[in-house]
Structure 1
Amino acid sequence: MSRVLDSADHATDAAFPIFGKACVVSLLAGICAIIFSPRLLPMEWGVAAAAVGILLWILPSRLRLLGAALFGLGWAAFHGHAGLAQQLTPGSAAVDHVLHGRVVSLPDHGPGGTRFRFRVDEDPAMPTRLRGRDLALGWYDGFRGAADDRRRTLRAGERWSLNVRVRPPRGLVNPGGFDAEGYALRQRVAGSGYVREPARAHPLGEPAGLPAWRERMADAIARAVQDDGRRFVQALALGDTRGLGQADWDDLRALGVTHLVAISGFHVGVVAGVAALLAGGLWRCLPIAGLYLPRPMGAAAAAVAGAALYAAAAGFALPTVRTVLMIAVVATARCSRRRATVAQSLSLAALAMLLFDPLAVLAPGFWLSFAGVLWLIWCLPGREQGWLRGFLSAQGVATVALLPLTVALFGQASRAGPLVNLVAIPWWTMVVVPLALLGTALEALIEGAGRWPWQLAAWCFDASWWLFGYAARSELSLWWLPQANRWALLAAVSGVFWLLLPRGSGGRVAALLLCLPLLWPARHGPGEGEVELLVMDVGQGLAVVVRTRRHTLLYDTGPGTDDGFDAGERIVVPTLRALGQGRLDRIMISHDHRDHTGGLRGVRRSFPDAVVQAPQGALRGRASACHAGQSWAWDGVTFRVLHPLPGEARSINDSSCVLRMETARGAILLAGDIEKGSEARLLQQAGALLAAEAVVVPHHGSASSSTPAWVDAVAPRLAIVSAGHRNRFGHPRAEVVSRWQAVGAEVLNTAESGAVRIWLGREGLQVREQRVFERRWWDAAERSRSAAILSAIKQAAAGPED
């Protein structure tokens, strides 16, 4: 019996090695099951799953794959709880602290302030929850100097004493929007905030360390290269993308080459290869070196060192770290005289990354880089073909195979990308990047020696960028796609797998059909006579998308800030793209206030043909006037402007355009920022038209609006407040919320619900909260609610106090 068991165990070891590809896939599956679930496995269960899983994984057993998956479950749960524990308590109020620490990122100096990462000192004098943690800070209103007029600019690597107001990480949640809370968790950011009382801020030490060196190199490039190409040389040499504006990123996305500008793993591999060749040449020139270290080992060590140095210059960005791990695996196998295939190296690199940080699966780059190499291994398994044919084949496979992931992760694909990459990859990687790195290496050795390589790199880049500019600005270059569900992604990946099977496999049409749910998703828009609203989560401001069957209106465009934030670019346009809106018929600005007009420029850039309406004189000739008495009908829905009266001069808030949308099932009211005076005027002039099924509460729930008479006249079933989380105005006021609830309305706040989507049609009034619809265990609002419920349960269990 023992011999039978031994042979079975031996067969298991042979079929599923501990660090084999099958075990790595099982580990990844277990990690993904936790990371992408709406709830996080309790810590106790996670520890138990990891303990059982590691035993089943390591010991010879037929359950080895199950053990790897169980360990993945527990390991991901452990890191998830550890990441959340590093952050400030969700829902807690902002608190002021005087903190000592170091600037660990390259400060991004914008027109209205500076953003930077700040690592608090491991000092007993520092607050316990912040000690040794990273904060994402902004320094506004005088960040270039203090009261003594030193005009000192914040530098990377400096130690500072700062008076900071910090709060837990909190993000806006919209369809197709950026997941700021997930990013903070992935980057291990404990909180965010801003510098208060700049006059009290003072440096504690000179710049030091890797961040300081990177900034010195970036400044040297800026001094050496005077034309526009310097920002791209900084990005390619150092991963410093601070100089790239929104227009640059738009062009890069349209061309499908963002992976080449932010230092890519391919660039790191090229550097490692060059380092290995140089080391091999050195060993040939100095044969005596072979007596101490064989040439293959020296080349392998040089490859790892070169890759690690380039990754350090890039600030150890995730794509570079993955590539360094892969190169280290291959080098270790070479030095141990073991043959490692590309697939084995890839699986070991994935294993190292997942063991080091299972939260890396939240990063789009993790999937794009590993999936890209995996597809190439599977489709081009060492075929003997010329370099040109091989390059074209690899480009074709990457374009087709990564299309589902690109669409699912970014909601877009570049039509020009396949052609542009044929030129950009060899030219930038083989010419521009080596010149940029040569300049950096020379500058590190001798000050001023990097000037000519950097200038030549900028000239070579500009030569190609001039050519690519025409393609980037073409309307056909970028393909926007509506947001689809996860099952559509799985179907599309299966379809691509089927499509790339060897010739003769058949079923090509069926393979293409599997891709349709992702590339052409079903759109469940409103029908005839129905209306749909999406009140976006824009913070302290307002932006509402109104859709009928064939028309779309945007009511307000969200806020804009002095530090360059534009809600139109960052929130409104991506949300419209995620909804599948390629056209915008009308933009109505309620009134001229930055919380409502701040995103107009970004929206107009993407939708230049939309008609703009605003109160008379609000936008100084850039819009037609909206006034009471105007009406129009779209697809069986009637739109009426109830306020302001033509030619009436009122305050900015009280001049807001009030819009009513009428259907056979009721009406919806958008009231802008009207206050008590305009509410009283509307009660007199249009009292019968105020009743509505749903209303966007005036002025974000301010005490200056929502008078009792107005609330009674509207009497909605749903009242939506668009306000920032813990905003300084205290919106919405508690008495205002109570007033709406007293007439039977459910009150939803975008600060807690995220974007709120409502439908009014044949099935009556329906509502969906984005934070509830897309539950994520790191969501701050969800964690706050869970903590409040747990606290209430504990208090109830404890019973009343004596």
Structure 2
Amino acid sequence: MAALAGCALVQAFPSLPSWPVLGAVALGASLCLLMRRWPGLRLPCVLLLFACWAAAHAIHRMEARLPRAWEGKDLVLTGRIVDLPRRRGADIAFVFQPLPRAGEPSIGGPLRLTWFRAPEPLLACESWRLVVRLRRPRGVVNPGGNDAERAALMKGIAATGYVRASPTNARLAQGRCVDGWRDAIGQRMDALLGPRSARVLKALAVGDTRGLDAADWDVARATGTSHLIAISGFHVGVAAGGGVLAARGLYLLLPWLATVMPRRVAQALLGMGVAMGYGLLAGMSLPTVRTLLMVAVLVLAAVLRRRAGGLSLLSFALLAVLVFDPLAVLSAGFWLSFAGVAFLMACVAPAGDGWRGRVIAMLRTQAVMSVALLPVSWWLFGSASLLSFAANLVAAPLVSFAVIPLTLGGCASLPFGPVASPLLQAAAALMGGLWRVLTPMASWPGAQVSVPDAGLCAVGLATAGAAWVFAPRGMPLRGFALLCFMPLLWPARESLPHGAFRAWVLDVGQGLAVLVRTRSHTLVYDAGPDYAGGHDAGAGIVLPAVTALGIAPVDTLVVSHGDNDHAGGAASVQRRYPGAVVWSGEPRRLRFDAVPCAGATPWAWDGVTFRFVDVPLPPTGKVKANDRSCVLAVEGPTGRLLLTGDIGTAAEARMATADLASPLPTVTTIAHHGSRHASTAGWLRKVHPRLAIASSGWRNRFGHPHPSVVDRHAAVGAEVYDTARSGAVRVDVPAQGEPSVSREWRRPADRYWRE
């Protein structure tokens, strides 16, 4: 536990210590640990040593990132494609490992690249010379959102970027590697079963999730079965168990083998061998490596003929993982896997005699895994499925004892086509039947339950309550353990007074999404872009933010106009909250019903007025899509928020001065992300903003916000914020007092991996 605490402690640092400081602390802790005079200092010294170990790894990975001076410049690099490239329409996303070459820049880690409109397919293991334009890993930062920069640190990604069109780009060699074998196996499975039927089996066999679409992942998350369709420690454990059973069967057939090697040792070694082979085919992802280390600890204990308790083996496995990769504590899978095993050891008694005892033990095991991990899942992901117990009662044994063995057996038999085909077809039939059961379950009540961000203390209390509920017989007052969940499910929230409101301009990259909250109502203005591959900012950023902030449900959705960077995520928000009133400047361009915002009647919530500012059409009636944007004014007693969409200079010129001018201090989103073709000096003099917020992407190709636009805002006394530099921005408009920016999610930096 001291080692775990040391590694976790470093992850809370806003900055990392220097190498000399780190060396001095490590030396002092080592000397203190070697001195037996003060045994009480042993655990603190272990904590410090592992904190130094984790910090050293973090410093090494941060220093391996792309030098800032190289950002935005064309670089010629020679390297090899690792993992499996993903095609998205005409574009290909892939991981590129640069190789040292004289005269080329030296980069200390893999690159995550996109080749837009790639001229030819890319294959794993190929060597290429490419002209690339890179930047350091950087993601959006929002309440409740995923942390892409943390994920890049955990995976050692040195930079992200794209391939430039150039005659220098050339394939140098085909190459052979494990990833190439994985790709070949996946293609054989597609040929035998068809891409649709093979998609889940490829994920189970070789970790190839390229065939799974957003709908597949939605079903898996809603039913709590994500761990079954993507290779994780669970599957590696099943493979190891298959190796153990194979060794046992071999010894039953050939008893004389016991004179060569004890059966227990042979079982452990064969289990490790099968798990290692499966891990290689799975791509050696971080969850796979963690499980292999845990299996290795069990094998070592068997080979050395040491009998150790479950808690001791779990502790050694944890220590092995932290020594191998102390930054594994950044992974959600790390906490779920070790917490799940710990709960099973603490709360599940050995199975009783007979089939009834085994069934009871199985039900209890599934209940522990489904309920006890709920608090951790809510903390890590913001939502969890209450259907996971029922779904996994069917899915877990079916996948573990039928689908995975058939799939692996079929893959091993691929060189013998007639043998592989029936095995893979049987696995596909079972998986298809399971999917037909899970798909309707994903729409049942309780499929995705979200809770507001309540903090680590509430999560810890709820986890303790779960352990209390499933504690062995004799533990008193089990019913009161459910009270431990209350701070997590119903956290304390600041209540806004009558007339006050709060707004969050979310960080969605090159797009716009704003949340507005009064005392008891929530409005969403735009929902960011739709990304390639079936993902969008509505599902990935807006909805998690609404949940984390505790401001659900959404009462009104305003889609300013139909462009992707504003409307791409709106469908996800509308599906989650179908009862919300929807307004839009271009309702015909949306995939769902909406009411035109032009000429709409103002309304009031909790002492705050909402009105759409009139943007007159020109005499011809023809305008650009941007100039059809709904412009929404939100007015309280002490301030005004003006949400401007993508209006340009022509629309600004047609707006009436009476609609723009206000005696209230004004906060505005900068029109069209800060384009130089918007926010004219005359329009700004009418609006006279005190605060202005641009929603733009980091180092975007448009140069937003344009320096001239920033200067024009400064000329009227506006303080300018940019989500590319600030992350999400919260604006408070109180019932008494002036509007102010109360928080920026990226500044000041509270984690060392943030750019």
**TM-score computed with the length of structure 1 as normaliser:** 0.88
| Aligned mate of 1:555, from 525, 535, 543 | 525
Give the equivalent residue in structure 2 for 1:529.
Answer: 499
Q: More displaced, 497-506 or 225-234?
A: 497-506
| 2:169 is the counterpart of 1:201 | yes
Quote the Cα distance in structure 1 between the aligned partners of 2:381 and 2:748. 19
Residues 419-474 of structure 1, C-alpha deviation per residue, up to 9 Å, x if partnerless?
1111111111000110011011112x435642221111010111222122221122
Q: In the TM superposition, what are the counterparts of 1:575-654 in structure 2 within 5 Å?
A: 575-615=545-585, 619=589, 622-627=593-598, 630-645=601-616, 648-654=621-627
The one-letter amino acid of 2:731's match is I
Residues 666-721 of structure 1, C-alpha deviation per residue, up to 9 Å, x if partnerless?
21111122222332333545243485431111121222222223223323332111
Quote the Cα distance in structure 2 between the aligned partners of 1:562 and 1:327. 38
Q: Secondary structure at the match of 2:59?
A: helix
Q: Secondary structure at the match of 2:747?
A: helix
How many angstroms does 1:503 deviate by?
Answer: 4.3
How many angstroms does 1:598 deviate by?
Answer: 2.0
Quote the Cα distance in structure 1 between the aligned partners of 2:567 and 2:245. 57
Q: Secondary structure at the match of 1:296?
A: helix
Residues 723-756 of structure 1, C-alpha deviation per residue, up to 9 Å, x if partnerless?
1111112111223223323433321110011111
* Residues 93 and 726 in structure 1, CA contact (< 8 A), matched pair in contact too: no
Give the equivalent residue in structure 2 for 1:26.
Answer: 2
The one-letter amino acid of 1:357's match is D
Give the equivalent residue in structure 1 for 2:693.
Answer: 720
| 2:66 is the counterpart of 1:96 | no
Change (3 A) 1:508 1:340: closer
Quote the Cα distance in structure 2 between the aligned partners of 1:496 and 1:562. 39
How many angstroms does 1:530 deviate by?
Answer: 1.9
Change (3 A) 1:283 1:508: closer
Quote the Cα distance in structure 2 between the aligned partners of 1:502 and 1:288. 43
How many angstroms does 1:528 deviate by?
Answer: 2.5
| 2:684 is the counterpart of 1:706 | no
Give the equivalent residue in structure 2 for 1:43.
Answer: 19
The one-letter amino acid of 1:28's match is L
How many angstroms does 1:242 deviate by?
Answer: 1.3
Give the equivalent residue in structure 1 for 2:50.
Answer: 72
Quote the Cα distance in structure 1 between the aligned partners of 2:599 and 2:362. 64
Quote the Cα distance in structure 2 between the aligned partners of 1:79 and 1:695. 43
Q: In the TM superposition, what are the counterparts of 1:445-484 in structure 2 within 5 Å?
A: 445-446=415-416, 449-484=419-454
Q: More displaced, 734-743 or 366-375?
A: 734-743
Change (3 A) 1:468 1:777: same
The one-letter amino acid of 1:656's match is S
Give the equivalent residue in structure 1 for 2:729.
Answer: 756
* Residues 591 and 655 in structure 1, CA contact (< 8 A), matched pair in contact too: yes
| Aligned mate of 1:499, from 469, 481, 501 | 469
| Aligned mate of 1:156, from 119, 124, 129 | 124
Q: Secondary structure at the match of 1:695?
A: strand
| 2:751 is the counterpart of 1:776 | yes
The one-letter amino acid of 1:262's match is A
Change (3 A) 1:55 1:348: farther
| Aligned mate of 2:411, from 431, 440, 455 | 440
Change (3 A) 1:266 1:623: closer
The one-letter amino acid of 1:119's match is Q
Give the equivalent residue in structure 2 for 1:54.
Answer: 30
Quote the Cα distance in structure 2 between the aligned partners of 1:773 and 1:112. 39
Quote the Cα distance in structure 1 between the aligned partners of 2:375 and 2:566. 36
Change (3 A) 1:563 1:466: closer
Quote the Cα distance in structure 1 between the aligned partners of 2:62 and 2:45. 26
Quote the Cα distance in structure 2 between the aligned partners of 1:497 and 1:616. 52
Give the equivalent residue in structure 1 for 2:488.
Answer: 518
Q: In the TM superposition, what are the counterparts of 1:422-441 in structure 2 within 5 Å?
A: 422-441=393-412
Q: Secondary structure at the match of 2:481?
A: helix
Give the equivalent residue in structure 2 for 1:18.
Answer: none
Quote the Cα distance in structure 2 between the aligned partners of 1:494 and 1:459. 41
* Residues 52 and 70 in structure 1, CA contact (< 8 A), matched pair in contact too: no
Change (3 A) 1:180 1:630: same
How many angstroms does 1:161 deviate by?
Answer: 1.9
Give the equivalent residue in structure 2 for 1:257.
Answer: 225
Give the equivalent residue in structure 2 for 1:119.
Answer: 97
* Residues 628 and 645 in structure 1, CA contact (< 8 A), matched pair in contact too: no
Q: Secondary structure at the match of 1:156?
A: coil
Change (3 A) 1:441 1:127: same
Quote the Cα distance in structure 2 between the aligned partners of 1:437 and 1:114. 29
How many angstroms does 1:308 deviate by?
Answer: 0.6
| 2:660 is the counterpart of 1:675 | no
Change (3 A) 1:260 1:30: same
* Residues 554 and 584 in structure 1, CA contact (< 8 A), matched pair in contact too: yes
| Aligned mate of 2:364, from 379, 393, 396 | 393
Quote the Cα distance in structure 2 between the aligned partners of 1:183 and 1:165. 21
Change (3 A) 1:280 1:496: closer
Quote the Cα distance in structure 2 between the aligned partners of 1:773 and 1:257. 38
**TM-score computed with the length of structure 2 as normaliser:** 0.93
How many angstroms does 1:28 deviate by?
Answer: 0.7
| 2:270 is the counterpart of 1:302 | yes
Residues 541-567 of structure 1, C-alpha deviation per residue, up to 9 Å, x if partnerless?
111112222322221221235565522
Q: Secondary structure at the match of 1:269?
A: helix
Give the equivalent residue in structure 2 for 1:540.
Answer: 510
Q: More displaced, 687-696 or 102-111?
A: 687-696
| 2:133 is the counterpart of 1:165 | yes
Quote the Cα distance in structure 2 between the aligned partners of 1:382 and 1:312. 33
Quote the Cα distance in structure 2 between the aligned partners of 1:168 and 1:502. 50
Change (3 A) 1:289 1:494: closer
Quote the Cα distance in structure 2 between the aligned partners of 1:554 and 1:90. 36
Quote the Cα distance in structure 2 between the aligned partners of 1:741 and 1:484. 38
Quote the Cα distance in structure 2 between the aligned partners of 1:438 and 1:263. 16
| Aligned mate of 2:541, from 571, 577, 591 | 571
Give the equivalent residue in structure 1 for 2:318.
Answer: 350
Q: More displaced, 585-594 or 85-94?
A: 85-94
Query: Gapped runs of 5+ residues in structure 2?
Result: none
Quote the Cα distance in structure 2 between the aligned partners of 1:629 and 1:248. 39
Q: More displaced, 393-402 or 619-628?
A: 619-628
Change (3 A) 1:470 1:559: closer
Quote the Cα distance in structure 2 between the aligned partners of 1:751 and 1:292. 65
Quote the Cα distance in structure 2 between the aligned partners of 1:645 and 1:92. 47
* Residues 214 and 533 in structure 2, CA contact (< 8 A), matched pair in contact too: no
How many angstroms does 1:760 deviate by?
Answer: 0.9
How many angstroms does 1:405 deviate by?
Answer: 0.3
Give the equivalent residue in structure 2 for 1:174.
Answer: 142
How many angstroms does 1:475 deviate by?
Answer: 3.4
Q: Secondary structure at the match of 1:29?
A: helix
* Residues 375 and 397 in structure 1, CA contact (< 8 A), matched pair in contact too: yes
| 2:246 is the counterpart of 1:278 | yes
| 2:382 is the counterpart of 1:411 | yes
Q: Secondary structure at the match of 1:185?
A: helix
Q: Secondary structure at the match of 2:426?
A: helix
Change (3 A) 1:515 1:44: farther
Residues 115-134 of structure 1, C-alpha deviation per residue, up to 9 Å, x if partnerless?
11111113234312x25x20
Quote the Cα distance in structure 1 between the aligned partners of 2:96 and 2:730. 37
How many angstroms does 1:244 deviate by?
Answer: 1.0
